[in-house]
C-alpha cells in the first residue's frame, strides 16, 4: 500500500556518528519501501550554508539522501530552527523539494498541514524574536557573505547561548501554545497536523468548532528515534 514517512529533529552532526548510521540504515530499508519521505526540520544540528556541502560528514548525509531519491522516492525538506539556511543547492544535490513552513498537502486523501513546529511555541517570546531576526532575508544575506569559518564560530556561540537560555525556561514555555494550535487549524480549515520541534512525540486530538483534528508530534533522534507512517487509512507512530 502506498504510504509516506515523516521524520524530524535528527540533529545530525559529526559528534554523533551513531545517529548517522541509524539514519543511513533507515533510508535503505524503511524509507526505500515508502512513496515519499518528508523531513520536517532540524535534519542537521546546524547548517552554516550550502557552501559547506563539501565537508565529509555533510557529504555523507547528502549522498545517502541522493541515493534514496535515485531509487525513485520523493524527498521533501523543511527548514527547522537549526538548519534554516539550507538552500536550493543542497536540495538539488540530494534531489529534494524544499517545502515552505507551513505546507498544506493532500496526504493519501486527507488534508494535512506540515510544520516544523517552532512557530507554534509563541509563549517563548525570546525565541520568537530571534526567529524573526534570523529569517529576515537581509540578515541571511549578510550572514552568508561572511567566510564559512567565521559563520561556524558564530553558530557555536549562538548554540551555547541557546543552551544556557533553555536552562532558565520552563518546559511549558518551550512547548506549543494551545491557542496558537487552535488558530492555525481553524485558519487552515481543520486539517490533520504533523510537526516536530518540541521533542515530545504524541498524538493529540483537538475538538475545534465541532471538528476533530489530529496533531501528530514527531520524535527526536537523540535516544532512539522514530517516524510517522501515513497511508489512506491514517497514521501510526513507529520507533526505530
Compute the average pLDDT of residues 21-35: 98
Domains of the chain: 4-239 (3.60.21.10)
- 28 pLDDT above the threshold of 80: yes
Per the model's pLDDT, the better-predicted residue between 105 and 171 turns out to be 105
pLDDT tens for residues 171-230? 778 899 999 999 999 999 999 999 999 999 999 999 999 999 999 999 999 988 999 999
Per residue, the 3-state secondary structure of the chain, as one string, reads CCCEEEECCCCECCCCHHHHHHHHHHHHCCHHHCCEEEEECCCECCCCCHHHCCCHHHHHHHHHHHHHHHCCCEEEEECCCCCCCCCHHHHHHHCCEEECCCEEEEECCEEEEECCCHHHCCCCHHHHHHHHHHCCHHHHHHHHCCCHHHHHHHHHHHHHHHHHHHHCCCCCCCCCCHHHHHHHHHHCCCCEEEECCCCCCEEEEEEECCEEEEEEECCCCCCCCEEEEEECCEEEEEEC
Q: What is the pTM of this model?
A: 0.97
**What is the predicted pLDDT for the residue at 63?**
98
Amino acid at each position: 500500500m502506498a504510504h509516506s514517512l515523516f521524520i524530524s529533529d535528527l540533529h545530525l552532526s559529526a559528534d554523533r556518528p551513531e545517529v548517522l548510521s541509524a539514519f543511513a540504515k533507515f533510508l535503505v530499508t524503511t524509507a526505500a519501501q515508502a512513496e515519499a519521505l518528508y523531513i520536517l526540520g532540524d535534519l542537521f544540528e546546524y547548517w552554516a550554508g550550502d557552501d559547506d556541502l563539501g565537508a565529509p560528514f555533510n557529504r555523507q548525509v547528502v549522498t545517502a539522501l541522493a541515493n534514496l531519491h535515485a531509487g525513485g522516492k520523493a524527498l521533501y525538506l523543511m527548514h527547522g530552527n537549526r538548519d534554516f539556511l539550507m538552500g536550493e543547492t543542497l536540495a538539488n544535490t540530494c534531489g529534494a523539494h524544499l517545502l515552505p513552513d507551513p505546507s498544506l498537502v493532500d496526504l493519501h486523501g486527507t488534508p494535512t498541514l506540515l510544520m516544523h513546529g517552532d512557530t507554534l511555541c509563541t509563549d517563548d517570546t525570546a525565541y520568537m524574536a530571534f526567529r524573526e531576526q534570523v529569517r529576515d532575508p537581509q540578515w541571511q544575506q549578510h550572514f552568508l557573505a561572511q567566510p564559512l569559518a567565521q559563520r561556524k564560530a558564530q553558530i557555536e556561540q549562538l548554540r551555547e547561548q541557546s543552551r544556557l537560555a533553555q536552562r532558565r525556561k520552563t518546559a511549558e514555555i518551550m512547548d506549543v501554545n494551545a491557542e496558537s494550535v487552535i488558530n492555525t487549524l481553524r485558519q487552515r480549515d481543520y486539517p490533520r497536523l504533523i510537526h516536530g520541534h518540541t521533542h515530545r512525540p504524541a498524538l493529540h486530538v483537538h475538538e475545534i468548532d465541532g471538528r476533530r483534528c489530529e496533531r501528530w508530534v514527531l520524535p527526536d533522534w537523540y535516544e532512539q528515534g522514530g517516524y510517522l507512517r501515513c497511508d489512506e487509512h491514517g497514521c501510526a507512530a513507529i520507533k526505530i
